[in-house]
Amino acid sequence: MAKPGFRLALFATLLALIVVLLGAYTRLTHAGLGCPDWPGCYGFISVPKSEAQLAHAELHYPDSPVEAHKGWNEMIHRYFAGTLGLLISILAGRAWVNRRHPGQPLKLPLFLLAVVFAQAAFGMWTVTLKLWPQVVTGHLLGGFATLSLLFLLTLRLSGVLPALTVPKRLQYWATAGLLLVIGQIALGGWVSSNYAAVACIDFPTCHGQWLPPADFANGFHLTQHIGPNYLGGQLDSDARTAIHLTHRIGALLVTVVLLGLAWQLKVVGMTRLAGLVLIALGAQITLGISNVLFHLPLPVAVAHNAGGAALLLTMVLVNYHARTSLVRVRQPMIARWRLSPRKHSAAPITIKGETPWRF
C-alpha cells in the first residue's frame, strides 16, 4: 500500500522530467541568456512586451537586445522549475510533520530541498557567469540529480518492495552501471556546454579518421577563465573534438557494462528489468548516433536528453531492487497431533525489508 505523499512525489518526478527537458530545449535553442538577469527578465516577471518595457530593457541592458522567443524559452523553464521547487518544499514539510510515522523518509526529502536551493544558485550563476561551461554542466547534473532523487523517493513511498533476493555480484554491477551513467551524463553536459556535439560529423570515425587531431588538455581545462560570454563556445576545433571523442568512448564503456548488467539481471530471474535496461540503452545509442549523422536536429537532441534521463532512472530502479535489505523472520511453531512425535523446527523464511538507501 502506498504511503502518504506518494502521489505528490510521483507528480513532482514527472514535473522534474519536464524541467530537465525544458532546460535542454533552452540550451539547444541558445536561449540560456534570453534573459540577461535573474530571477526576472530585464527586470520584469515576464518577457518585456510593451513599448515602455522594451525601452527600459534597452536602457538598462544595451548589450542584450530583447529576443522574445529566447526570453520566453528561458522564463518558461524558470516558471516550471519554480513550481517544482515549491512541490519539493511541500514534500519536505510533510516529511518533517510526519517524521515520527513508521516508514516515513525524512533525510531524502530534506536533502532534495537542499539540492533545490543549490539548483537555484546554479541557475543564477548560469546567467551571471554568461554560460560558463563548469556552471552549465553543474546545473545540468543538478537537474538530473533532482529527478533521480525524486524517483527514488517515489519508489520508497510506493509501498512496493522487490520480491527477490539477489547476489552481491549483481549489486556491484548495478553500482558500476549507475556511476558510469552519471559520468556519461556529466560528459554529455560538458559536450553541450562547450558546443561540441557536432565536432565530429561522421560515425563511427571522426573527420574520416579513427584518431583525429584532438586537444584534450584544453578540452578538459576545468580552471579556464570566466567570461566574457560562452554562448556558442570558445574552444577551438581540436579541443571540441577531444570532448566529443571522450563522450563516445564513455558511451562504449557504458554499453559494455550495461550489457553485462542486463545479463546478470537475466541470470537471477529479473528479466523485465534486464529488458528495460536493454531498451533504454538501445534507444540512447540510436539517438546519440542520429545526433551526429543528422547534424543535431532539435527534436533528436532533446530526445537524447530524455534518453539520458530514462537510462538514469532505470539505473536507480535496478539499484533499488538490488539493494533492498533482507529481514529474516521465523515461522511460528504450530502444534499438531501426530501418531509418532517428532521435533518441530522453526524454519527461517526470508522477506524483503526497507531499502537501505536512507537519506
Q: Are 159 and 15 in contact (CB under 8 A)?
A: no
Angle formed at CA 73 by CA 71 and CA 77, multiple of 5 degrees = 115
Question: If you search the block for the grid coordinates 532534495, which residue do you land on?
Answer: 112
Which among 306, 243, 307, 247 is positioned nearest to 281, based on CA atoms? 307
Alpha carbon distance 205, 262 (integer Å): 28
Beta bridge partners of 326: 352
Which among 251, 257, 268, 255 is positioned nearest to 174, based on CA atoms? 257
Which among 22, 8, 190 is positioned nearest to 112, based on CA atoms? 8
Beta bridge partners of 41: 44
**DSSP alpha helices (H): ranges in the chain?**
6-28, 51-60, 68-97, 107-128, 133-157, 168-193, 216-219, 237-267, 271-293, 298-322
Q: Are 91 and 109 in contact (CB under 8 A)?
A: yes
Task: Determine the 3-state secondary structure of 182 from DSSP.
Answer: helix
Task: Determine the 3-state secondary structure of 130 from DSSP.
Answer: coil
The cell numbers describing 215, all together, are: 586537444
Virtual CA dihedral for 97, 99, 100, 102, nearest 10 degrees?
A: 130
Q: Catalytic annotation on 74?
A: yes
Annotated catalytic residue: which of 51, 58, 67, 74? Answer: 74
Residues serving a catalytic function are 74
